[in-house]
Each structure stands twice: as C-alpha cells, then as structure tokens.
Structure 1
C-alpha cells in the first residue's frame, strides 16, 4: 500500500522565519517585563508606605515626611521618592498624601522607556 503524494502546498508547520520572529518577539517582551517589574514593585511599595502613614494621622507635614523617611529606611526598594517629594494636603479633614515621579528605563542603546507614576493615599 503506497501513500498518495502530497504537494508542498498542502503541508503546514512553522517556518524558520516564523520561528525566529516569535523567538525575537518573546525575547523583547521578556526584556521589557524584566526591566519594568522592579519599578512597579517600587511604586506599590511607595503606595503602601503612603497609605500606612496617612492612616496613622500625623499632625504636621514634617511628621509625614519624617515618617516616610523612616519607612524608606525599612523598605530598601524605595529609591525614586524622598520625603520632600510628597505633597501633603487636607481634604474634608482627611490627610491626603500624594506623590508623582518619572522612571526612565534604558532598554538597549538609545532606546528608553519612560514610565510616569503617581499616586495618593486612600
């Protein structure tokens, strides 16, 4: 019993070009993710610290900044924001602490990714 001859047009599969395209695409996405995730972790750490400080209801702005600096010494991942970068306001007798900063990440050569983070206490 012989198998019928199939033309190359009927064959399906991944070409070398297609395989290289997907490998490069997955590599680039992985590179970006590995460089962005630490900055997201830093943002979430700052947000938790701000929420913790706001819930303790400090009386003055210097107390807020001093509390943030103490929290910064505990959390080693906070490097982009200092106590002086915090904006402290009162809204309806509730203390609101806000912050904003930019993070520039070098991807490769002259290519950079600019992330703008901002947040405020709950």
Structure 2
C-alpha cells in the first residue's frame, strides 16, 4: 500500500524561508523604534514630576540624553495641567526604508499618567 508523502517540497520550503527572512528583516528594524517609544514614555512620566514648563522640558531632555532618545526632544512636548497634575503628551513619526520606493511609517503618541 502506498502512502502519500507529507511536508514541504523544495519550492515551498524556499518560499516559506524567504517570507520568514523578510519578516525577520522588518522586525529587526521595528524593534528598536518600539524600545525607543517605551523609553520616551518613561521619560515623559519622569518629566511630569516637574512644576514648570521649563523644568518639565529640562527633565525630559536629561532623561533623553541618558536613554539615547533621538526622535523627539523637550521642545516637541505638549505640556498641560489637569487639576493639580502636570500632563506631558508627545507624538512623532518614524520612517523605515524597506526597499526601493517602499517605506514603513510608524506613528507613535503617548502621554504621562
């Protein structure tokens, strides 16, 4: 009795491998932007402890220097006050060149708690 073979053929294996490599290449470029976003979120939270606008921007810039944040700086922050708390908001875009005319645009925004 003949049994049917199962699994991937050579062409299928090459195609699946190419897709995995392409996805991995994109992820390698996305992960640093996500890590930087998390650093910006922590820096904004720390900066919200300041009392004045200048102090908040200064605290953010100091945290940005420590965490190597290059996407935004203290001038890009929107600082407001709700009740007795300082709220720090930010928004920015990161563009990642994929290949040829293809770009991946990531929009990040957040605020302190």
Q: TM-score, normalised by structure 1?
A: 0.87
- Corresponding position: 1:43 with 2:37: yes
| Number of corresponding residues | 113
The 2-side partners of 1:13 and 1:51 are apart by 51
Consecutive unaligned residues of structure 1, counting only runs of 5 or more, are none
The 2-side partners of 1:114 and 1:23 are apart by 25
Shift of 1:31: 0.6
The partner residue of 1:114 within 98, 105, 113 is 105
Q: Give runs of ≥4 in structure 1 deviating > 3 Å.
A: none
Structure with bigger gyration radius: 1
Q: TM-score, normalised by structure 2?
A: 0.93
- Corresponding position: 1:83 with 2:74: yes
The 1-side partners of 2:75 and 2:22 are apart by 36
Equivalent position of 1:64 in the other structure: 56
The 1-side partners of 2:47 and 2:67 are apart by 14
The 1-side partners of 2:104 and 2:42 are apart by 25
Equivalent position of 1:12 in the other structure: 6
| C-alpha RMSD of the superposition | 1.3
Deviations 1:20-65 (CA, angstroms, capped at 9, x unpaired)? 11101101110110000000010000001111121x2x22111111
The 2-side partners of 1:103 and 1:88 are apart by 22
